[in-house]
Structure 1
Amino acid sequence: MSRARPAQTREPGEIFGPRMTLFADVLGVGLATTVACLPLLTAPAALSTACAVLRAAGEDQPATTGRYFALLRQRLRRGDLPAGALALAGALLLAADLALAGAGLPGAPLFAAAAAAIGACATVTALRACARPASLTNWRTALHEAAHDAARDLGGSALILLAVVTAALCAWMLVPLAFLTPGPLALALTAVDVRRAGVRGRGPREAGVPGG
């Protein structure tokens, strides 16, 4: 009986293996996400679509830029612009708060620490909402699920913060990398959400959590 071809083995005539192909697809999706984020208000929809495309890659569907833009055109709806406006307003408010804290106001260190903590929690929740499948149809449901997961899955939330910091450092060290970082960031968000979905699917006893 012949053995099945390992996933790492290349087909005849294939230059790169599946892992390198997936890496190239992630970078391509990242560049497409950057382009889709340029209007700023479309940023949540763009990142949500990237997560959906990468999630489908785990089901042997192509993770190409063509499929990304096709899905983005299909899912754009009125709720995406208010979500983008809310995200942009939150980012500007956080930047303004940190700028005021850096101006030497009384109690600035404590205020800066509180603003940073609130900003980190809001960022994690917003990013986890983009990774939720519900974000394709209903942002309110996605945010509710993301807030629940952010509180219950502290390890996953820490991984998301680490991914954000890594992406920011890469963009700071080499500016052209900023155009590619949304792809790996979306991959990290999707991986955390898939991991969390697996824990939910197994239930508390199978996941090793004491049940009631």
Structure 2
Amino acid sequence: MRTSGQREAGEIFGPRMTLFADVLSVGIAVAVVSLPLVTLPAALSTACAVLRGVREDRPATAGHFLVALRRRLRPGDLGAGLVALGGLVLVLADLALAGAGLPGGRAFALLAAALGTGAAVIGLRACGRPESVDDWPAAVRGAARDAVRDPGGSALVVLAVATATLSAWMLLPLAFLVPGPLALALTAVDVRGKGVAPHQRV
């Protein structure tokens, strides 16, 4: 994937439009691969790593994403998916209990929502870190540090998720496209202020 402004012979739209198309194709691939849910963290992490490679003129296509993903889905990757899925079920169950009219339910619901949002931000920022390719614990620790040191980046992650959710809610077919822009946003949040060279190749 070229990052310069020059066009190849016969190229109509230029590299920026090509990158946009690649992001959407990667998003579709992520959505399809993530249907079992437990594969979502590995798929999103791989998408972020593939999109990070654009800075070194490496391909950011759905085909390259699938090739990279085949080297993933190890027990650790599936374990990360199970942890994420379990956390989501726990938060939803807590919110359901809080809405059942229990004493202090409103305060408990706010607390559960805040904890769930914080955990989701850390998990998503971990997917955007290059360490997630082969070391989830290190990626989560780094994401937790980033969430504290860089609240602006965490706010951007929340905004990206809200935008993706709203887009999918407004037009359901967009649900198969939004993982690509979301992965791009997570990658951009991670690389801003850091060196140009990525830490991990895919």
TM-score by length of 1: 0.88
Bigger Rg over Cα: 1
Q: Which residue does 2:106 correspond to in 1?
A: 109
Counterpart pick for 1:43 among 40, 51, 76: 40
TM-score by length of 2: 0.92
Conserved? CA contact 1:153–1:196, under 8 Å: no
- Unmatched 5+ stretches in structure 1: 1-5, 200-212
Q: Which residue does 2:27 correspond to in 1?
A: 30
After TM superposition, the structure 1 = structure 2 runs for residues 125-136 of structure 1, keeping only pairs within 5 Å, are 125-136=122-133
After TM superposition, the structure 1 = structure 2 runs for residues 43-192 of structure 1, keeping only pairs within 5 Å, are 43-192=40-189
Conserved? CA contact 1:44–1:80, under 8 Å: yes
Conserved? CA contact 1:53–1:67, under 8 Å: yes
Distance 2:78 2:9 in 1: 46
1:20 aligns with 2:20: no
Distance 2:194 2:93 in 1: 36
User: Shift of the alpha carbon at 1:198?
Assistant: 4.2
User: Shift of the alpha carbon at 1:12?
Assistant: 2.8
User: Which of structures 1 and 2 has the larger relative contact order (alpha carbons within 8 angstroms, sep 6+)?
Assistant: 2
Distance 2:95 2:37 in 1: 21
Distance 2:90 2:148 in 1: 23
Distance 1:8 1:104 in 2: 59
Please give the per-residue CA displacement for 1:13-38, whole angstroms capped at 9, x wherever unaligned: 11211111100000000000011111
Distance 1:17 1:76 in 2: 34
Runs of 4+ in 1 over 4 A off after TM superposition: none
User: Shift of the alpha carbon at 1:10?
Assistant: 3.0
User: Shift of the alpha carbon at 1:196?
Assistant: 4.5
1:112–1:196: structure 2 CA closer, same or farther, 3 Å change rule?
farther
For these two proteins, the number of residue pairs brought into alignment is 194
Conserved? CA contact 1:163–1:188, under 8 Å: yes
Please give the per-residue CA displacement for 1:86-134, whole angstroms capped at 9, x wherever unaligned: 0000011111111222222221221111111101110000001111111
Please give the per-residue CA displacement for 1:144-199, whole angstroms capped at 9, x wherever unaligned: 11111111000000000000011010111100000111100000000000014349
Which residue identity does 2:156 align to in structure 1?
Answer: L
Which residue identity does 2:170 align to in structure 1?
Answer: M
- Please tell me the root mean square deviation across aligned C-alpha atoms, in Å: 1.5
- Unmatched 5+ stretches in structure 2: 197-202
SS of 1:15's partner is coil
Which residue identity does 1:103 align to in structure 2?
Answer: A
